Chains A and B, each alone.
Chain A
Amino acid sequence: MTSCCAHAHGPKHAATTGRVSKRKRAGIVALAGILMLGGGVAMASWTHSGSGTAKAQATTATPITVTPGSPVGLLYPKPATGYPTSAVGSIYATVANPNDYPVQVTSVTVGTITVTPLAGRTCAAGSVLASVPGPMPLITPITLAANSAPTALTVPGAIEMVAAAEDGCQGATFGVPVTVTAV
């Protein structure tokens, strides 16, 4: 009887224990999944917000360094038919990546341009404008390696000179503030 009952209860007890164990496993897995999902949400939130707290969780994202380049003097008043090549409205800078990971420069946004005419000449502010308001996607994005040295950045067709620009704009140089976006 005992053996009968023990034999009878043994498997039942074992089966009960097995179900509990599976429930526990399922619970643990569920918890892990929820934690993973939670982690993912937290990271996604950090990516979009860029908050300081989130930056503390991983490497610090530092804006890339932009310095003036050496311009080639090609710009002139825009013809009614447009410039024959986009090289005419090029802007020149160098970009360096101070981060420990590679980035890709994808677009630039041109701000208000300053004019420096040659000595003894005048060239009114507003003679040179951004060709496109807002971000200009680079036709060929530039990939910068981690901690890269300065790399030339030339953006063709970024600016244009108004058709009525005065004679004193010949040979002038232009400061073109750019906001560079990299991913």
Chain B
Amino acid sequence: MLSKAISAALSTALLLAGALALGGTQTASASWVLTTPAAPARAAATTMPTGQLPTVKGTNLGVLGWSYTVTWPSTPTLDGTPVTGYLVTRAAASGGGSALAGGTCAPVNLLGLGFSAIVPANAGATQSCTETSLVTLGSPKYQVTPVYGNWRGAPSPWATAT
């Protein structure tokens, strides 16, 4: 009887081992790993938004010249990231311009050429800077260009002071 029991137990154990081995094979089959050779996917970069048309308000300061306040709407974000600043460019309109100017739009503006600087962007819906022209040569015009790092957007149309 003991021999029978041992024999039966042995048989059962071996069958179980065999079944486990087969089961293990199925598990191994499920862990097949297919690795492709390197194949091309694609990605693309966005582009900068175009600057929004500014408005320019001129204020006569008498012997001190003119003050120009340039205001423009904030440009759309780069998929959630706002631009870091704006480049404000001045030019002479109809032979106008400035012989010498300063302010928050640009540190120095000489003979209407200007040394453009980046006006840091604020988080609001509108942006603004002010330029004071000590010696005016006529009505200047302005345009704004959005900036993000080394990227530049297309400049806005020119806007003349009113």
Contact = CB atoms under 8 A, between A and B. Distances in A.
Interface residues of B, number: 45
B125 interface: no
Interface string B15-41: 101111110110011111111111111
B44 interface: yes
B42 A33 contact: no
Give chain B's interface secondary structure class.
Answer: mixed
Contacts of B78: 76
A67 interface: yes
A61 interface: yes
A47 B32 contact: yes
Interface residues of A, number: 80
B32 A183 contact: yes
B43 A92 contact: yes
Contacts of B148: 76-77
Interface string B35-56: 1111111111111100000000
Interface of A: 19, 22-23, 25-26, 29-30, 32-37, 39-41, 43-44, 47-48, 61-77, 79, 83-85, 87-93, 99, 103, 108, 111, 113, 123, 128, 153, 155, 158-159, 161, 163-167, 169-183
9 pairs of A and B residues whose beta carbons are closest in the complex: A40-B21, A36-B18, A33-B14, A66-B39, A84-B80, A93-B41, A73-B44, A177-B38, A71-B44
